[in-house]
Every structure is written in structure tokens, then in C-alpha cells.
Amino acid sequence: MSKATLRRAVRETVSGLPREFWWLWTSTLVNRLGAFVATFMALYLTLDRGYSASYAGLVVALHGLGGVISSLGAGVLTDRLGRRPTLLIAQSSTALSVALLGFVHDPAAIAGVAFLVGMASNASRPAVQAMMADIVRPADRVRAFSLNYWAINLGFAVSSMAAGFIAESSYLAGFLIEAAMTMACAVLVFVKLPESRPERTAVEKAADDVSLGTVLRDGRFMSVVGLSFLVAMVFQQGSVGLPVAMGEAGFTPAEYGLAIAVNGFLIVVLQIPVTRFIQHRDPRRLLVISSVLAGYGFGLTAFAGSVGAIALTVCVWTLAEIVNAPTQTGIVVRLSPVHGRGRYQGMYTMSWAVAGLVAPLMSGYVIDRYGAAWLWAMCAAVGTVAGLGYALLMRRLPPEEAPERPAAAPAPATPRPATEAA
């Protein structure tokens, strides 16, 4: 590819998006540049504090439980209070709780604060996704989600490698850096981002009210949520099972940081060209392929005995991640009614939060009881099941992207009062 062709491809990928999107993108990048806790929690507890893999799994699971609880609540707040206020509350709370986590030493206190960190940090996701869907036109959303995912991983690639070396000298410094960067994101949102929630007339509110019950009754959407949970269980092992398995195999935090940084750097390099390739491809096929590839990418870790070999397995499941993330997010937005985006995004986010709760418990137990090889075999099996599930589910979806549907209408009788909505 010539330089002129490359410049044109980049220009076409980034052009035409609103200014508000780029401020939100910048907030995402700054937040991920300071990421530390989620990536190095397991190593912090096992290597620095000397706890077992099972205890580390329990604490990381409590972090995930906080995310489960906050996902739906944040989704409701995103629809009722607004995208911007929800972001401000979530990011400010995350900064304070992360800083506190660096100073607590009692096992019960560590578990409790980790729960608060998970609750606060996960609360921003429905608001970010709903705001992005609000401000970007439908034709550009897959591209916008890909660029946002690119920012996440650009920050992750830089922070994970730097944090690996920071962790060898001071875990506390990592906690404080993340707290400062997260607070900087809150300031950026406060100064630069206006509220994007669509306004509704009184008639629209009466005829188009969306509750959590509406979401739960949406069988097609909930099937996507269930399959998303399975895929998330696999991808969670990059930050949960992999560091613990590498630590038990004698690798250092810096070596884990180098291996996992391959994930972020590959996404930085490949996200834009891959996005151009998949933008108009059949999402059904992309989800099937990416799910199976993710499972077997982690499955190959059982045969990796060096940092270089582990990095090669990271390359395999990273390609799956590059394809899966924007494709799945685009389908979620497509299935979400405009005035219920917060609740729908909250339910989708909850699938990842529940995976963040279950995956650490599962991986810690399996590694302690049976060994890491069994964990990687389970990843291959779960990825296969998810791929088969998408293949079956997507046969009921239209082959071409449909326009956004309206919110699910209530029963044809008298509209429900607003107080029934969650």
C-alpha cells in the first residue's frame, strides 16, 4: 500500500465525525492511559501481598460484582438523569475509590474497596456508549465504535507496559496515577461535552416509555446479551487467568506487561484497516468467526512456554477482539430503541460485568485445583459454544442492517405510568 493510499484510508476513517465525538474519544484515551487496577490487580494480590490465586480471584470477582450492580443502575441514570451527569458521577467516584485502594491493607478492606472501584468504573460505560450513539449518525457508528475501541487499546498498550515496570517498584504509584488520570477525564467531560440525550415530547414519553422489563422481554436482544457473556468470559482471561498462570510459571510482572501489551499495540495497528474491511461485511459471520477464534486463541496458551510464544497466542485472540468488539456494539445499538439506549446499553454492559464476576472465580479455582492447561481448554470450548450460538441466533436476524427500530411498544391498552419504569 502506497503512502498516498494509506493517507487516504486514514482520512476516510476519521473524517466526518462530530467534534463532540472526538472529545469523548479523547476522554476515553486519557482514561485508558492511566489504567492500572484492572490489569494488575491479580498480580498485586498474589505477588506483592502474598495472597493465593483463589483469594485474588475472589477480590477481582467482587470488582466484577460491583460492575454488575452498577450496570443497570447506570443505564437507568443515563436515560433519566442524562449522559453527561452520569459520566461525571462515575469518573469522579472511580478516581476517589482507586486512590483509596492503594492505601488499604486489611484483606476485607481490600475486597470492599475493590467492589466500590468496580461499581464506579463500570458505571460510565452505558453513558459513553449511549452518548456515542446519540452524536454519531447511524451510517458512521461502526466506524466510530472502532475508533473508540482503538483509543481504548492505544491507552492500554502504553499503560500496560509502563505499569508493568511501575509495579516492580511501587504498586501505590500505579493506583495514584490511575486516580489522577480518571479525574482528568471527569474535568474534560465537564468542560467540553454537552448533554446529548434526545428530548421527547409528552406524547412521546407516554407512548414510548422503556423500562428494564421492556429490555428483559426482548428475547432477541437478551440472546445477544447471553452470547456476549460467553465471549466476555473468554476475553476476561487476558487480565485474569493469564497473569496468574504466568506468575505461577515464574514469569515477572514486567514480562506479563510486555506480553499483554501486544494486544493493545496490535489493535492500534490493525483496528483501522480491519474496520475498513469489515464495515460492510455480514455481522453474523463476523461474530461466529471471532468467537471461535477467541476461544482457540486462548486455548493455544496451554502450549506456550515462553514470553514470545505467549505473545503469539495473544496475537490470535487479539484479531478476534478487533473484529468482535465493534461488530457486537453495532448490533446492540441497532437493537436498542432511541429513548431506551441507556437501559439497553446497561444490560449489554452487565454481560461483561457478570463475566468479570464469574471469570476470576472460575479461573482461580481451575488453576488452583486442576492447573492452567484446563483453563485454556475450557476457553476453547466456550468460544466454540458461543460461535454456534451466534450461528443459530443470527439466522433469525435480517441479513442486511435494518434501520433503528422504535422502542418496544407497551400493550395496546392504556400506556403505563412513568412510575412503572425502572
Residue 58 domain-assigned? yes
Count of structural domains within the chain: 1
Which residue shows C-alpha cell 459513553?
128
**What's the pLDDT at 75?**
83
Residue 298 domain-assigned? yes
**What's the pLDDT at 235?**
93
Say how far apart CA 301 and CA 151 lie, in whole Å: 27
Which residue type, as a one-letter code, is found at position 38?
A
Residue 201 domain-assigned? no
Residue 404 domain-assigned? no
Q: What is the pLDDT along the chain (422 residues), one digit of tens a residue?
A: 556 665 666 676 677 788 889 998 888 888 877 677 766 777 788 877 777 877 887 887 788 788 788 877 888 888 888 889 999 999 999 999 989 988 888 888 988 998 998 888 888 888 888 888 888 887 788 788 888 888 887 777 777 677 777 777 778 888 888 889 889 988 988 888 888 887 765 544 543 467 778 888 888 889 889 999 999 999 989 888 898 888 888 888 788 888 888 887 888 788 878 877 877 777 888 999 999 999 999 999 999 888 899 999 999 999 999 888 888 887 888 888 877 778 888 888 888 878 877 887 788 888 888 888 999 999 999 999 999 998 887 766 544 444 444 444 333 333 333 333 33
CATH number at residue 292: 1.20.1250.20
**What's the pLDDT at 206?**
44
Q: Which residue segment(s) compose the domain that 123 sits in? A: 20-194+213-398
Residue 204 domain-assigned? no
| Digit-coded pLDDT (tens) for 293-316 | 999 999 999 998 888 999 999 999
Residue 299 domain-assigned? yes
Q: Are 127 and 83 in contact (CB under 8 A)?
A: yes
Say how far apart CA 160 and CA 323 lie, in whole Å: 22
Provide the grid cell at 10: 486514514
Say how far apart CA 291 and CA 226 lie, in whole Å: 13
Residue 45 domain-assigned? yes
| Digit-coded pLDDT (tens) for 63-120 | 878 878 887 788 888 888 888 999 999 999 999 998 998 888 888 898 899 899 888 8
DSSP 38-73: HHHHHHIIIIIS---HHHHHHHHHHHHHHHHHHHHH
Q: Are 60 and 118 in contact (CB under 8 A)?
A: no
8-state DSSP, 30: H
Residue 420 domain-assigned? no
Provide the grid cell at 177: 496515577
